[in-house]
Amino acid sequence: MKLKPLRDQVLVLTGATSGNGLEIAEEAVRRGAAVFLVARNAAALTELKARLERRGGRVAILAADVAEEGSAERIAEAAALAFGGFDSWINNAATGAYGTLEQVPVADHRRIFDVNYFGVLHGSLAAARHLRARGGGAIVNLGSMLSDRAILQQGPYCATKHAVQALTDTLRMELEREGANISVTLVKPAAIDTLFPEHARNYMDTPPRLPPPLYHPSVVADAVLFACAHPRRQLYAGGFGPFGSLGSLLAPRLTDLMMELVGTRMQQKRNDPGDPARRDNLYEPRADGSVRGSQNVLARRSSLALQIQKLPVSAWALPLAAAATLLARAALRRARRR
């Protein structure tokens, strides 16, 4: 499968006005791509468009909620009108809530699924229809290391990211079976220093935070933009991601116990609630326009694990084989104990 160089592409990007989406937009323009940016916050979109155009960027925008019926088709049509089509579609928009499954009302569960799962589903289908007619391209979905591992206090979000992983894998198989020249990649960020803890609805009695170690959104942008030009099945953005997923696979019960012991405390920041103007964007947009959150945290700006994944498959086939061998041995030991 051959994808265009990024500088020759038009990218559709949802959730573009803060965090990972904002960093992806800015880095895409720096690398020469044209961008069609989507978010709910019309004022933040307009400001972002003007800023990127002053840097020489080719930018068009549309204020839309990906959870609304028909929004994906409107996005595809508007992108085609603005640029004559697009080459990559990035499903980045997401929302969440902190609290136990009982604390979070069912209506909020549904809203999180409407954005995080159905938004990705409708976006992926609209992108696939357009890219088939165009002769190929890339669909990049934002999952999470929580696509592999659930944690306390974020049950609905974890459930959506598990669902996005299954959706992405199914879409990839269907497109491959029909011979479509469309790359489908799942990017799985670790904990990233974005506005998520401030934007999420909070049912805990303490301000939320993301558990360390944290990575800068530039790590996610690097993974996403690489996937737009290089077919990959999945990419972990942040070195803790693959290790956390592997630990859960090899020792799920031990990982459960560790989460029960420290999982809630690691997601609370009592003396640093962040910016009150950003709180709770579950149903309505709140203050946007920043790449990083306002809480005082350390964030790593690079990920060796990501750079290794970007190498040709032949370069890390041996380490992959070694990891598969370890997994097989662990499974055999468990079978013998049973």
Neighbours of 338 (CB within 10 A): 5
Q: Using CA atoms, how far apart are residues 71 and 82, in angstroms rounded to an integer?
A: 16
Helix (H, G, I), strand (E, B) or coil at 130: helix
The runs of H, that is alpha helices, within 135-216 are 155-177, 196-199
Q: Using CA atoms, how far apart are residues 25 and 50, in angstroms rounded to an integer?
A: 13
Residues making up the chain, counted from first to last: 338
To the query of whether residue 157 is one of the catalytic residues in this protein, the response is: yes
The answer to whether 220 and 140 are in contact (CB under 8 A) is no
The answer to whether 86 and 33 are in contact (CB under 8 A) is no
Single out the catalytic residue among 98, 117, 157, 236.
157
234-237 and 214-215: which strand pairing? Answer: unpaired
Q: Using CA atoms, how far apart are residues 25 and 18, in angstroms rounded to an integer?
A: 10
What is the CA 108 to chain-centroid distance, rounded? Answer: 20
Joined tokens for residue 99: 């609290």
Q: Using CA atoms, how far apart are residues 245 and 71, in angstroms rounded to an integer?
A: 33
Contacts of 13 (CB under 8 A, 6+ apart): 21, 24, 25, 28, 35, 36, 37, 38, 90, 92
CA-derived radius of gyration, the chain: 19
Catalytic residues: 157
